[in-house]
Structure 1
Amino acid sequence: MARVVRFHEHGGPEVLRIETVDAPPPGEGEVRIRVKALGLNRAEALLRAGTYIETPSLPSGLGLEAAGIVDRVGEGVEGFAPGDAVSIVPPISMIRWPAYGDQVSFPANLLVRHPPSLSFEAAAALWMSYLTAYGALIGIAQVAKGDFVAITAASSSVGLAAIQIANLVGATPIAITRTSAKKEALLQAGASHVVVSAEEDLEGRLKQITGAEGVRVVLDAIGGPIFEPLTAAMSRGGLLLEYGGLSAEPTPFPLFTALSKSLMLRGYLVHEITGNPVRLEAAKAFILAGLEKGLLRPVIARTFPFEEIVEAHRFLESNQQLGKIVVTV
């Protein structure tokens, strides 16, 4: 038997339930894992609320990240054996492969042996954040030394990963945060500059920081009215990568700015990396090398025990965290 988290109706964190279900053996090409830690993502809150890109049949499981120990391997699996310590590359569908449980099965090609230096908590906080940031900044934008990179929602796990990756390649990360409450923490986390969007002139501050060069790459998770000052501060031929939609307000298209600067505005999903074996292997190699050198390190905001999954989701939606929320099992 396995303990899993499911919801029988859409709603707030209170709809999450811990239930005991049969633990089926792994299918062909799959591996079953005894979970030690889970990483929480906003996508899971959206699925629970009924506003995610997937529509589940109820009751539904959820979850995209886990780390633990291989318990059993399915038919046709090579390279993994019971006892191996592994973490999970987020699957394309968390409905098909939900991570919230003490025993979960995943396709073997999504398993990674994490370095011995990583705790299970750090391993569970790793792949979604760093694959998302890598795919945008390195895989698409090819950020390099000398580039100015503006990062919204900078205190999120993806934002912090993006700051670290920008620093690793010699770019200048500019963290954008709504209030000054997290400004000092973002500077300590490696941001070269911090702009407080609710307290400062965003366009003016970005232009002050970058001078005539402008911001070449924007990594944005928000959308909404922030598009106009962001694009106004971008360089000619600059690239804005949109990977979220946290703003509840309409997102204006900056037509004349885009025309006059030949800007590229592009939607981006981490599935572009995780669904492409060649790009995924390149991303994993980059991230693992950064971990070994100590230049990349997951930032954990707070940990909760499995039994407090509702409280963990409440904290997730509070926007108080700096980094990843982790649940231990």
Structure 2
Amino acid sequence: MPRVIVFDEFGGPDVMHIVDEPIPTPASGEVRVRIEAFAVNPLDLMMRSGASPAPVPLPHARLGIEATGIVDAVGPEVTGLSTGTPVILTAVADPVAQGAYAEYTTVPASQVIPRPTELNVVEAAAIWVAFSTAYGALVETAAMQRGDRVLINAATGAVGRAAIQVAREVGAVPIALTRNSANEDELFNIGAAAVIATDRDNLIETVGHHSDGVGVDIILDLVTGPGQRQLSEVARTGATLLAAGFLDSRPAPAPARTVKFHRYKGFVHTLDPEVVGRMATFLSAGLRRGALRPTVDTVLTLDQIADAHRRIEAGTHRGKIVLTVE
């Protein structure tokens, strides 16, 4: 029988284990996907540890919101998709029950898109969450325009890297913020117009230099917490501040300046077929031009899932950790 990763209690990576389950049958409007590879995201670690903002019923909880695979079966009322089609999952609305850490899963047919031919299986598993988050926050929510100066916090993470590329593709000016100046060359290679390293640079002075003293138009904060107030100090009046991360769970104080504040949640857009269509079109165009590309740190196998979670907890990864399903 197919293998599925589950956990019966909250805790460290070792609470996850593999069980055998029957192949699921797609309901009306659903497709069954044979998973070829999936990526690990911070939300997975929060769910497994018991820190998820949404309740996770135990036992036998699943994980996984990002994957690619082959349509293996279609349920009644499904049109436009056939078996054998390579797809990317655009949303797993109930990862506890249908998570992608498995050999098979079922999802509504509206929550998959054809896999771009420019991507191999590993890249396809690593691209959607990061780029849909960056696009959804910057384009759909902040209405980013050509020439906008965009400050991107935690720029070396998967979403930060995607945001740099999305901003470049639109014609905006991505300013990457990182804690370590050793990341500078890598961030410039991704497409950053400027890099601010907090171990070397004064944030306010350096942003002033790169914004002609005006401040930035958009801030994408992928950390949040108390540091968000200092970020708001480098915004121009009326700028947009997007809180799209949760690396720091401490409360964030009120912004220091008058900004348009949004707490961005990706599912608002990834469960909307019209927005997903725009995201997919943008992604496909950028891939064809070679302007967009996911960064993959490590490729492991399904039975190495605990090692994958440990690597993310250690904070040593650069890009996505992807697990192949063999």
Check the 8 A contact 1:154/1:176 in 2, yes or no: yes
The answer for the alignment partner of 1:274 in structure 2 is 270
The answer for the alignment partner of 1:35 in structure 2 is 35
Question: Which deviations, in whole Å up to 9, do the C-alpha atoms of 1:219-248 show, x marking residues without a partner?
Answer: 111112322221111112101000122114
Check the 8 A contact 2:91/2:271 in 1, yes or no: no
Check the 8 A contact 1:220/1:241 in 2, yes or no: yes
Q: TM-score, normalised by structure 1?
A: 0.94
Runs of 4+ in 1 over 6 A off after TM superposition: none
Q: TM-score, normalised by structure 2?
A: 0.95
Alpha-carbon offset, residue 53 of structure 1: 2.3
Aligned residue identity for 1:218: I
Q: Please tell me whether residue 236 in structure 1 is matched to residue 237 in structure 2.
A: yes
Distance of 1:96 and 1:46 partners within structure 2: 16
Q: Please tell me whether residue 49 in structure 1 is matched to residue 45 in structure 2.
A: no
The answer for the alignment partner of 2:135 in structure 1 is 134
The answer for the alignment partner of 2:98 in structure 1 is 97
The answer for the alignment partner of 2:112 in structure 1 is 111
Question: Which deviations, in whole Å up to 9, do the C-alpha atoms of 1:72-120 show, x marking residues without a partner?
Answer: 1111111222211111102233123211101111111111111222111
The answer for the alignment partner of 1:299 in structure 2 is 295
Aligned residue identity for 1:304: L
Alpha-carbon offset, residue 193 of structure 1: 1.3
Aligned residue identity for 1:15: V
SS where residue 96 of structure 1 aligns? helix
Check the 8 A contact 1:91/1:274 in 2, yes or no: no
Distance of 2:181 and 2:131 partners within structure 1: 25
Distance of 1:209 and 1:11 partners within structure 2: 44
Check the 8 A contact 2:220/2:243 in 1, yes or no: yes
For the aligned residues, what is the CA RMSD? 1.4
Distance of 1:245 and 1:65 partners within structure 2: 18
Aligned residue identity for 1:309: I
Distance of 2:213 and 2:202 partners within structure 1: 17
SS where residue 230 of structure 2 aligns? helix
Distance of 2:271 and 2:72 partners within structure 1: 25
Question: Which deviations, in whole Å up to 9, do the C-alpha atoms of 1:108-159 show, x marking residues without a partner?
Answer: 1111111222111111111111111111111111212211101111111111
Question: Which deviations, in whole Å up to 9, do the C-alpha atoms of 1:41-87 show, x marking residues without a partner?
Answer: 10000000111122122120010011111111111111222211111
Alpha-carbon offset, residue 211 of structure 1: 2.0
Distance of 2:251 and 2:87 partners within structure 1: 41
Check the 8 A contact 1:92/1:274 in 2, yes or no: no
Aligned residue identity for 1:44: D
